[in-house]
Amino acid sequence: IAIVGGGLAGASAAVALSRLPDTQVRVYERAPALRESGAQIAVMVTAVKVLRRMLSPAAWDHLQQVLYRGEGTAGIHHRHWKTGEILATAVSPDTPRHMQEGRASRPLLHKTLMMDVPDGIVEYGREVVQLESRMDQSGEKKVVLHFNDGDTRTADLVVSADGLYSKIRRQYIPETRVSYKGLVAYRKNFPLKLVAHIKDLPTDSSSFRNGPNVVIISRLEPGNYSIAAFLQEPEDFANTLRWEHELGGSGVGRLKKKLAGWHPVVQQVVEALPGIEAYPLQAAKWMENLTRDDCIAFVGDAAHPTAGGWGTGSAFCFADVWALYRSLHRTHTSRLPTIASNLSPGARIPPPGRATGDGAVEYNVPYALNLFNETRRHFLQRVERQFEYDRADTAYIIEAIDEDDEFVRRYQERYTVNWWILEHDVDARWQEV
């Protein structure tokens, strides 16, 4: 198994797929070394459910130590941008505390995953630029990976985890186009002591809402604090930015101007910032099917870039990976279902993995990829439709942006916690399929 990309999606794929018997896993990451990039990241209940099953006891304990869930609350508070009034609380009332949503710094979440990645399987400075699927002499489907230095490798299965700008997705869907979504993400993790003096600094995770403009402030792992502001900006400014773009003092000054008139706590947090990073929120059309050629699977932003939607990026990529792991494992260890009513007329039940001469067991990769795709694609298509519904609700709410009472009324009227997304159980869905 070859995994392209070593970020959160690639690292989680390495953790899960390395647990499969009779496999060799390699991860190809184009960066020259492991990078500590990113600020705060939401870890939704969906993600926590998967990580509970995926991680070793030591890595799970580490996750619990670094995941911040707020004091005295079972969720994240949505607040009025100017008054700080709590408009709604995204809670998980029937979920145990240790399984609830939390926030962590992206580098620490990545390090937690890397605790379970076997030594020596990640190759850094290796950029895959193209895939080529072909039949070998025995009639088995193989994938040739072409690297930017002219080198090649061959695999039975390739997992594309190379993110929003995936070259592999563009290879198979050349018309795909990454586009600016109208918001720039300003973000910074910094020592808690820089804001400890602020009176009434929330001990929860607070999301201040002003139409499409959102500012999230939260503690993270012990001793750290974070701000993430998603603000409307003209495209010409957004085009000057890139991932991990440090704006320094000038960026802080720009952020102060953008947030003038917001709640005093928000302004005081910005005043204390040692600097700020910014990048444009971008997205591309989601893939309708997450597999190609019976030997390539797409996971995470390579398949469905969320552009920050509901903070579900990590949850979706972990769920993709777990569905793929379950599907491959099924074809290796179990007999396949024999209920003819589930098959189309004339269809043949595919065989389980076949024993080879040396006692190893092959995987039925095409069948596994079908299970994986059917588990994920219907759910993700519903999520895309929900994005459209939410945009309509946001437009309705911001019509009253200058009338505080009406803004609150409309927000509380339309705001819905989409549990079917945020607490989706991919294992249950996989079993249904």
The strand ranges marked E within 192-237 are: 206-210, 213-219, 224-232
Number of Cβ within a 10 Å radius of residue 392: 10
Q: How confident is the model at residue 231 (pLDDT cuts 50, 70, 90)?
A: very high
pLDDT tens sequence across 135-188 = 888 878 899 999 999 999 999 999 999 999 999 999 999 988 899 999 999 999
Range name among 150-164, 279-293, 352-366 with the lowest pLDDT average: 352-366
pLDDT at 338: 45
Could you give the percent of the chain with pLDDT greater than 70? 91
Contact residues for 141 (Cβ-Cβ < 8 A; gap 6+): 133, 134, 135, 156, 293, 294, 295, 365, 366
Backbone angles phi, psi at 42, to 5 degrees: -80, 135
Gap between the Cα atoms of 363 and 23, Å rounded: 9
pLDDT at 204: 86
Gap between the Cα atoms of 173 and 47, Å rounded: 28
- In total, the chain counts a number of residues equal to 433
Specify whether the CB–CB gap between 232 and 219 falls below 8 A. Answer: no
Pair of tokens at residue 191: 């020592």
Specify whether the CB–CB gap between 6 and 156 falls below 8 A. Answer: no
Pair of tokens at residue 393: 């609700």
Pseudo-torsion of CA 335, 158, 302, 174, nearest 10°?
-120
Counting Cβ atoms within 10 Å, is residue 336 exposed (0-12), middle (13-18) or buried (19+)? middle
pLDDT at 47: 94
Q: Which residues, in sequence order, are bridge partners of residue 214?
A: 209, 230
Token pair 């002499």 in the structure block, residue = 137
Nearest to 369 by CA among 142, 129, 159, 145: 159
pLDDT greater than 90 at residue 345: no
User: What contacts 24+ positions apart, CB below 8 Å, involve 139-145?
Assistant: 141/293, 141/294, 141/295, 141/365, 141/366, 142/295, 143/2, 143/293, 143/295, 143/296, 145/2, 145/4, 145/28
pLDDT tens sequence across 310-322 = 678 899 999 999 9
For the chain, how far is it from start to end, CA to CA, in angstroms?
24
Question: Residue 428 CA to chain centroid, in angstroms?
Answer: 20
